[in-house]
Amino acid sequence: MHNSCGSVLFVTLGCAKNEVDTDRMRALLLSNGYQEAASSDDANVVIVNTCSFLTSATSESIECTLALAEQTTAGIRDVPLVMCGCVPSRYGDDLPAELPEVAAFVRTDEEDRIVSVLDDLLGVQRETPAFIPRIKRTVEGAVAYVKISDGCDRLCSFCVIPFIRGRYHSRPAADIIAEAVELVSGGVREIVLIGQDTGVWGGDLPAAAGTGGPANLAQLLVALAAALRPAHVWIRVLYLQPEGMTDELIAAIRDTPEVLPYIDIPIQHVSARLLAAMRRTGSREELEALFERLRRTIPHMVIRSTAMVGFPGESDEEAAELLEFMASVGFDYTSVFAYSAEEGTVAARLTEQIDEQVKLERQQAAVDLAEELGFAATAAHVGETADVIVDGVEDEDGELELIGHAWFQAPDLDGAVHLDATDASVGDILKVRFTDSFCYELVGSVIA
């Protein structure tokens, strides 16, 4: 192995799944003789891990790449750029001609060969081939995302994920548990399980049922919690589709103390007609029954959801029905998207595309409602006492302030808790009384 093959700057765009992919590439490169650079000035190569979920995300990824190209060629050194992730996966063969500034393109399913890509670019000669070690994640904070699956089989008519990341494939339970145990031993206090569709984990691993190991998400949660004991750790699950909420999974969330009573379920819409056009299942009645069952079965349940407005053919009445449903369920947190006609999708070819101004107006109305519900849900915690994980320190007008999050706040999504103490470290778990709120943020007084 080479002591120093070169220094790499990593730039990650998009969701937490991309952060995990970057972490894997980082581990591969550092294990094979590369170092991490702090800036483009110190780098021999720059890796940009891109997002292409929406046209706007693709544009942002390309703009960021071009800005980096301008930076890295402004001086006397010409630092090669490598574009990884979703944009190369989605646009592939068209990119070399469109982006001559980029030295190499690496799709999501090719990221394990990142060492050989950089070796070729930098002229690194190896006596033995690059190896793929057991990936050791870098512990950088109190929270770590662990990917349990990739790809998606749902083929929703508006979504490009299956074209980018391929068919659904579950990650083996033993790998997930080993990674989580390692992270917790390194100081992580919350494990966030992610994937394109976490609720169907294990369905493509039929052999698991015969080995006594976890065969579905409910069993994985129970096994993961048992493996992490006696550490004081939270387990949170994101990206659960409504169909994945089985009785067994609901019971596992209710009965496993480490698993937070926090459910992230994207609904997109409640009109059965539009859901069918989206190639999704369900109806308003089925969704109402699901959320009622969740709140009845799991005490203090917190619910995050995602809604889409402006899908082709959406009527004024259907747009109003979606808002009416959001208000009746009373979501704690809701992300609202205006439909985007993504190239290559079925929905982009539909004739009843909604006017952009109408989409923006409907999005703003849904955002206003989501904020009204979310701010009220946040304010309802004032006066309560709960554990808070310390995430870091912020400088507020020259004064240092500890920032953390409570169990009902998904990190980087749902707001934070601002603490009145400064003598704690990242990863500490403090007993806090919430004294005030503003928007999605809480102010807390440390009591233990």
Q: What is the Cα 131 distance to its own chain's centre?
A: 28
Tokens describing residue 231? 């550490």
Task: Bin 9: left if φ > 0, else alpha if -120 < ψ < 50, else beta.
Answer: beta
Quick one: which of 335, 196, 168, 194 has its CA closest to 267?
Answer: 335
Residue 51 known to bind ligand: yes
Say whether 5 counts as a known binding-site residue.
no
CB 190 within 8 A of CB 389: yes
15 is in an annotated binding site: yes
Q: How many CA atoms lie within 13 A of 6 on its CB side?
A: 24
Q: Both ends of the chain: CA-CA distance in Å?
A: 49
- Rounded distance between C-alpha atoms, residue 441 and residue 405, angstroms: 9
| DSSP element (H, E) containing 264 | strand 262-264
CB 338 within 8 A of CB 310: yes
CA distance 268 to 335: 10
Is-contact 192 16, C-beta < 8 A? yes
Strands of 234-237's sheet in order across: 143-147, 190-194, 234-237
376 CB-near residues (< 8 Å, 6+ apart): none
Q: Which of 444, 436, 307, 302 is nearest to 374 (CA)?
A: 302
Q: Cα 400–402–405 angle (5° rounding)?
A: 155
CA-CA distance, 126 to 123, in Å (whole number)?
10
Residue positions in the annotated binding site?
15, 51, 86, 152, 156, 159
* Residues making up the binding site for [4Fe-4S] cluster: 15, 51, 86, 152, 156, 159
